[in-house]
Amino acid sequence: MSLQKLNIKKNDLVMVTNGKERGKSGRVLKVLLEKEKVIVEKINFIKRHSRPHGQQRRGGILEKEAPLHVSNVALLCEKCNKPVRIGHRILEGSKKSRFCRKCGEIFDK
């Protein structure tokens, strides 16, 4: 899957459209291109037990965002305030930009 096809980039605002976190939104922290997954800020937390090691005497529970499959998230249009269908358009020059099919808002300025 190419980056263009993935449609979602780092720092995008997305909403979860499927699964237990459905309806939540946040910023994309990381795109895992090969896995077709994204890590979204404060979404899909998993608890991990950390073992005590080194100078750190106590183990504990770490909360960390687990990746979500891209098919379970959608780009959120801040103007429409909901997940929208994305179109592509070439702006002046040759820069390819994504826009909201509903209100025309351009995501890549």
- The residues in 85-104 that bind Zn ion, with binding defined as CB under 5 A, are 100, 102-103
Query: C-alpha distances in angstroms, 34 versus 2, 31, 69, 81?
Result: 9, 9, 11, 29
Closest CA to 82 of 72, 74, 90: 74
Which one among 10, 35, 64, 79 touches Zn ion, defined by CB under 5 A?
79
Where in 6-25 is the site for Zn ion (CB under 5 A)? none
Those residues with Cβ within 8 angstroms of residue 79's Cβ, 6 or more apart along the chain or in another chain? 100, 103, 105
Task: Please state the closest distance from residue 40 (CB atom) to Zn ion, in A.
Answer: 19
CB 100 within 8 A of CB 81: no
Smallest gap from residue 54 Cβ to Zn ion (A)? 49
Does 106 bind Zn ion (CB under 5 A)? Our answer is: no
Q: State both tokens at 86.
A: 């994305």
Q: Please work out the total of residues on this chain that contact Zn ion, with binding judged by CB under 5 A.
A: 7
CB of 84 to Zn ion, least distance (A): 5
Please say whether the beta carbons of 40 and 26 come within 8 A: yes
Interacting residues with Zn ion between 47 and 76 (CB under 5 A): none
Q: Binding residues for Zn ion, per CB under 5 A?
A: 77, 79-80, 100, 102-103, 105
